[in-house]
Chains A and B, each alone.
Chain A
Amino acid sequence: KAGVTQTPRYLIKTRGQQVTLSCSPISGHRSVSWYQQTPGQGLQFLFEYFSETQRNKGNFPGRFSGRQFSNSRSEMNVSTLELGDSALYLCASVGTSRPDTQYFGPGTRLTVL
């Protein structure tokens, strides 16, 4: 099986712009979670989607949003980018055979100038 894929891998934006990141889970996995990783705050949970519904949400402002499509692919959007949004954004998918194990993609490195 192919692993979790994330596009793009690298992105440079300027303050005030918006950005959309994409995540394709492992085939058959219906849960997708997003995490932000920064040197200062570490790894923090953003949100989780299951069957196109947001099931959990972390403590992030409303500028961070996401969605999941019927094929389980997920996107996250950040509007009005701030310098502090520079981070590695990771998504992870979970399947039914090992429901406690999250499989992570390689991440998207976002730099906000």
Chain B
Amino acid sequence: SQQGEEDPQALSIQEGENATMNCSYKTSINNLQWYRQNSGRGLVHLILIRSNEREKHSGRLRVTLDTSKKSSSLLITASRAADTASYFCATDDNAGNMLTFGGGTRLMVKP
């Protein structure tokens, strides 16, 4: 079963704009990760934030985590057409390498 929901399910923006995706989860976690998937292919790891961290940056990516609200957000700044993909959050509850994924956000960036 999925850990939680991602919001929005789909997002369409123009190149250069920022994209924000939100993820909610249900149980306590060890860390939360974001992955990207292009057209039904494999998942690419983007960024990991641990339960004791509140914000993390990597290039044009910014992730926040609010454990009190059991939610996270992923911000992609200055988006590019190449950012068009599905984005998934995944939680790790420290039970081994067993990730629980959200439903994903389909992002379309128009040139």
Contact = CB atoms under 8 A, between A and B. Distances in A.
Interface string B35-46: 100001111110
B63 to A, nearest CB: 14
B98 A45 contact: yes
Contacts, number: 69
Contacts of A45: 98-100
Interface in B62-111: 88, 90, 92, 95-104
Nearest to B88: A43
B1 interface: yes
A94 B98 contact: no
Contacts of B31: 100
Contacts of B99: 33, 35, 45, 102
B97 A94 contact: yes
A107 B43 CA distance: 9
B97 A88 contact: no
A2 to B, nearest CB: 14
B97 A104 contact: no
B44 A56 contact: no
